[in-house]
């Protein structure tokens, strides 16, 4: 046995484990190569990871990208208003058109049914009213559809702006604060024109109309929703005048609870 | 029976009227319009335990004017009490105090008036004592809107007297 053969035998004895290990590694590398090179196999391994990451990204997107997108949109809209209007106009325009069409159809159906009932008592009454007031019958029918509603009525001390009494359908505002504000606005407007005999009579606020009727020591503020028109204004003025002349006594102005009761009785079933 | 009283806060620019009132009230509108119409309205309900009554103070915080005669007189109508506020650290805000009080009395002789020296935290007790000797008519309260000192006491006393 020569030296080389002896050395081989010794290698065999000493490096058996390493050789087996090397063979295993070689097998694994081969499998990995196959996995990477074959798309199907790679996709099976990688897809779940990507899906998970994507899910996380979608969840986090509003937090991480939200402010940036909002800011970018804001500045984009500011810088190119015309382009935005041009892009949005067809969409919003169509929506508005459809809504108006729908509402007009409803209104037209209601008007038709009212006009077709020509000889009803209500219709005859309307015809008479149209003749008396000079307002066309059609306009009266439309006014009936968007009938004004008295939401709140306040009797307010003219000088101090303190509320004497009030009647409301839904209690959702602080009447003391509103009475004070109305009086301040009224005083400001009246002072601004520097004519003592002129008094503020009307304020419009979004969908609400505030009718102000002045008396000697107090004024009545009526908050109205719906259509506020000349006919309604006349009727309301008459009704308030009648209330002030025939219902309110001097003593009522000192007794808020008594006046509140009177207001409720007078206006709760109001049919102006 | 509901009791409501109108209280008007009056005084020079920057004496701390609005800060004083913010220490005390619960209800207010946004004050954006104060510049436009010159008044800001607040409301505070005060319980008078001794009398077992509640009183609503509707407080009109008028825009500061260097000359009280420039104040819109229609805002003073029907006032139940005035709170005249000056800044203890600025003599210009209390130099005309006597004339100003006389002017208010001319308008409503029977109306309650409280004179209040605000920003008392800017002076020492000795300085306040000295100031009190110099000012005529007598100051009712020395308050601090910053620390809240004597603010509640001022309005409670006022409510009590108004009842």
pLDDT in tens, chain A (272 residues): 788 888 888 887 787 788 888 889 999 998 888 878 887 778 888 888 999 999 998 888 888 888 888 888 888 888 888 888 788 877 887 788 788 877 777 777 777 776 666 667 777 777 787 787 777 777 777 666 667 888 888 899 988 899 888 888 776 677 888 888 889 888 888 877 766 677 888 888 777 888 999 888 889 999 888 778 788 888 888 888 888 888 888 777 777 777 888 888 887 765 55
Chain B contact for A201 (CB, 8 A cutoff): no
Domain boundaries, chain B: 3-162
Chain B contact for A257 (CB, 8 A cutoff): yes
| Buried-state track A20-50, b at ≥16 Cβ within 10 A, e below 16 | eeeeeeeeeeeeeeeeeeeeeeeeeeeeeee
Chain B residues lying within 8 Å of A251, measured CB to CB: none
Nearest by CB to A187, from B1, B75, B79: name it. B75
Chain B residues lying within 8 Å of A184, measured CB to CB: 37, 39, 41, 60, 75
Chain A residue closest to B37 (CA)? A188
Give which of B36, B38, B39, B76 to mutate to test A binding, by max A Cβ within 10 Å.
B39
Burial class (CB in 10 A: 0-12, 13-18, 19+), A118: exposed
Q: In 3-state terms, what secondary structure has residue B116?
A: strand
Strand intervals (E) in chain A: 149-157, 163-168, 202-205, 208-214, 218-225
pLDDT in tens, B7-19: 999 999 888 888 8
Chain B contact for A77 (CB, 8 A cutoff): no
Write out the two tokens for A177: 């604060």
Map tokens 């009280």 to a residue: B68
* Predicted TM-score of the model (pTM): 0.64
DSSP string, A211-258: EEEE-SSEEEEEEEES---HHHHHHHHHHHHHIIIII--TGGGT-HHH
CATH tag, B3-162: 3.40.50.300
Chain B residue closest to A255 (CA)? B1
Contact, B64 vs B11, CB < 8 A?
Answer: yes
Write out the two tokens for A236: 């309301």
Return the H-helix or E-strand segment holding B2. Answer: none
Q: In angstroms, rounded to a whole number, what is the distance separating the alpha carbons of residues A38 and A257?
A: 90
């Amino acid at each position: 046995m020569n030296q080389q053969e002896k050395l081989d035998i010794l290698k065999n004895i000493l490096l058996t484990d390493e050789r087996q290990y090397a063979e295993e590694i070689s097998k694994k590398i081969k499998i990995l190569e196959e996995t990477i090179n074959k798309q199907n196999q790679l996709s099976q391994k990688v897809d779940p990871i990507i899906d998970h990451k994507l899910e996380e990204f979608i969840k986090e997107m509003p937090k991480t990208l939200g402010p940036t997108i909002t800011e970018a949109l804001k500045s984009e809209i500011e810088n190119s208003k015309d382009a935005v209007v041009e892009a949005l106009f067809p969409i919003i325009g169509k929506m508005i058109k459809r809504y108006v069409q729908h509402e007009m159809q409803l209104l037209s159906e209601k008007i038709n049914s009212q006009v077709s009932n020509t000889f009803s008592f209500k219709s005859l009454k309307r015809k008479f009213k149209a003749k008396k007031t000079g307002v066309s019958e059609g306009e009266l029918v439309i006014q009936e559809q968007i009938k004004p509603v008295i939401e709140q009525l306040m009797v307010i001390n003219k000088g101090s702006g303190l509320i004497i009494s009030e009647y409301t359908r839904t209690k959702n505002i602080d009447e003391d604060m509103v009475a004070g504000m109305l009086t301040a606005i009224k005083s400001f407007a009246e002072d601004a024109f520097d004519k003592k005999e002129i008094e503020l009579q009307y304020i419009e606020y979004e969908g609400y109309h505030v009718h102000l009727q002045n008396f000697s020591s107090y004024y009545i503020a009526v908050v109205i929703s719906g259509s506020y028109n000349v006919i309604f204004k006349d009727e309301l003025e008459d009704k308030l005048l009648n209330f002030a002349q025939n219902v309110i006594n001097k003593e009522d102005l000192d007794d808020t609870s008594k006046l509140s009761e009177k207001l409720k009785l007078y206006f709760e079933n109001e049919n102006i | 029976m509901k009791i409501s009283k109108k209280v008007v806060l009056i005084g020079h620019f920057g004496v701390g009227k609005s800060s004083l009132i913010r220490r005390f009230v619960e209800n207010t509108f946004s004050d954006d319009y104060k510049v436009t119409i010159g008044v800001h309205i607040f409301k505070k309900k005060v319980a008078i335990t001794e009398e077992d009554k509640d009183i609503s103070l509707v407080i009109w915080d008028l825009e500061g004017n260097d000359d009280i005669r420039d104040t819109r007189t229609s805002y003073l109508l029907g006032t139940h009490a005035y709170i005249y506020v000056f800044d203890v650290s600025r003599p210009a805000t209390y130099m005309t105090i006597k004339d100003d009080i006389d002017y208010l009395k001319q308008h409503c002789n029977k109306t309650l008036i409280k004179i209040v020296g605000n920003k008392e935290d800017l002076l020492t007790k000795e300085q306040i004592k000295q100031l009190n000797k110099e000012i005529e008519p007598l100051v009712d309260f020395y308050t601090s809107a910053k620390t809240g000192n004597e603010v509640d006491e001022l309005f409670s006393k006022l409510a009590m007297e108004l009842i």
